[in-house]
Structure 1
Amino acid sequence: MKLNSKTTVASSKVLLVPYEGHHVSKYHSWMTDPELQAATASQPLSLEEEYKNQRSWRNSADKLTFIVCQPIDRSLDGRGDIPFIRMNTLDLDSMSRMVGDVNFFLHPWDAEGGQEGWLVGEIDIMIADHEWRNKGMGKAAVMALLVYVQVQMGFILEEYVMSKQADGVSGASLKALFVKIKEGNVASRKLFERLGFRQEGQKNYFGEYKMVMPLDDLQKQPWWDTALGDWIQIPYGSMRDEIKFTD
């Protein structure tokens, strides 16, 4: 979504930054790994196709795409809060700090009993860097993303509706969250269970389990208040954006 093109999301354990062009080459190298291709049900793309994909995703009104980066010192070593992150500088969002990606997709509600304008949100998380697996990075990234979605809900839905007006869409309401996880990915299933997601039905034709959480249950989760208190947004962009922001 264009919504997340000018902001990063930071907690004490993770930094989420918009997927920009300078991230593509490393992302592309990750996706040549057969293990990651299998885990994400992805087909290998050429580097040119990956750049095209990046531009498409960043401009889509039904997708949020963040690169998961190593956490940063948000207080600049005690000198004050970071007021702005300029892309691809200070090594905060560089390729050397990339760990994986986390995404959010909006889909029309297709289950029985749905109403016009109802949506469901799909979450997708990948920790590609082996050194950062099993350290809580995936959980921290998903929690930061979900706080962002809840806080920015009005803007997310407004952008979606505006993009669908030609199709006669006049309103939208997010009703549930879900994730699809491969049968053998036990770690991811346990991660989402700890976050409050529950399995719906049996595995599908592709060997995936669907785990679901009603949106009304999100802020009732035991981890919510801590995640919300540990979460900030930091403006992000080019030098031109920074000058406008600090004027």
Structure 2
Amino acid sequence: MKINLSTQILGANVCLVPYKEIHVERYHEWMKSPELQHLTGSEPLSIDEEYQMQKSWQEDENKCTFIILDRNQFLLYKNEVDSMIGDTNLYFNNFDEPHTAECEIMIAEEKARGQRLGWEAMILMLRYGIEKLQVNKYCAKIKMDNVSSIKMFGKLQFHEISRSTVFEEITFERLVDEQWIKWLISETLNSTRNENQ
């Protein structure tokens, strides 16, 4: 998505930056993991296919992607690639409901899990979708065995709407309302968004 090409979102512990060519090799290494392929429902790609995918996502107005950086590491070393811990995405794939987005998050670096970094990154992405992309409803599709993500989306006040035994996933949903927006803001009070780097 071109709208976020020069956007940087700083949270207390994470930083969201657009997915660019410099990130592809590290991302490609992550996606060799059978565990991450399973949890994200992804197929392994060659490095050339990964570069093509990055380019197509950048051009696709129905996909918004940010790479998640460990903010402390990034501020210390000023190196995005070395600070990468995962990614977060919004997909606008419901053409009957153009203001509905499917959201997803991946913390690929094992050492970065269990520290609420994914929590903060997801809330920053949800806020970006509401404040910048006019999202009024979110859905999330999570593998049935992904216990940590199921718990997290429950705490994010999403509710289950369906289960698919074929895809082994649960679909969660959350309507955007004023009370929820206030709560999202309260969870990320120290965040800032820079539109021009």
TM-score, normalised with respect to structure 2:
0.91
Partner SS, residue 139 of structure 2: strand
Q: 1:92 maps to which residue?
A: 78
Q: 1:179 maps to which residue?
A: 140
Q: CA 1:92 to 1:236, structure 2 compared with 1: closer, same or farther past 3 Å?
A: farther
| Partner of residue 138 from structure 1, selected from 118, 124, 129 | 118
**Counterparts of 2:156 and 2:79 in 1: how far apart (Å)?**
27
Cα drift, residue 216 of structure 1: 2.5
Cα drift, residue 95 of structure 1: 1.4
2:131 is the counterpart of 1:128? no
Q: 1:68 maps to which residue?
A: 68
Deviations 1:172-217 (A, max 9, x none): xx44101000010010000011011011123342100001001236
Q: CA 1:118 to 1:25, structure 2 compared with 1: closer, same or farther past 3 Å?
A: closer
Q: 2:154 maps to which residue?
A: 193
**Counterparts of 2:79 and 2:20 in 1: how far apart (Å)?**
10
Aligned residues: CA RMSD: 2.2
2:187 is the counterpart of 1:230? no
2:127 is the counterpart of 1:151? no
Q: Return 13-22 or 224-233, whichever deviates more.
A: 224-233
Q: 2:92 maps to which residue?
A: 106
Letter in 2 for 1:34: P
Cα drift, residue 117 of structure 1: 5.3
Partner SS, residue 43 of structure 2: coil
Gapped regions of structure 2 (runs ≥ 5): none
**Counterparts of 1:72 and 1:2 in 2: how far apart (Å)?**
27
Q: Return 223-232 or 14-23, whichever deviates more.
A: 223-232
Q: CA 1:47 to 1:4, structure 2 compared with 1: closer, same or farther past 3 Å?
A: same
| Partner of residue 203 from structure 1, selected from 164, 176, 187 | 164
Partner SS, residue 179 of structure 1: strand
Larger radius of gyration: 1
Q: Return 23-32 or 143-152, whichever deviates more.
A: 143-152
Please say if residues 11 and 188 of structure 2, whose CA atoms lie closer than 8 Å, have aligned partners that are also in contact. Answer: no
2:57 is the counterpart of 1:57? yes
Letter in 1 for 2:24: V
Gapped regions of structure 1 (runs ≥ 5): 77-89, 110-115, 155-173, 238-247
Cα drift, residue 30 of structure 1: 0.4
Please say if residues 195 and 223 of structure 1, whose CA atoms lie closer than 8 Å, have aligned partners that are also in contact. Answer: no
Cα drift, residue 102 of structure 1: 0.3
The count of aligned residue pairs is: 197
**Counterparts of 1:15 and 1:106 in 2: how far apart (Å)?**
23
Letter in 2 for 1:46: S
Letter in 2 for 1:220: W
Cα drift, residue 62 of structure 1: 0.8
% identical equivalent positions: 33
**Counterparts of 1:94 and 1:118 in 2: how far apart (Å)?**
32
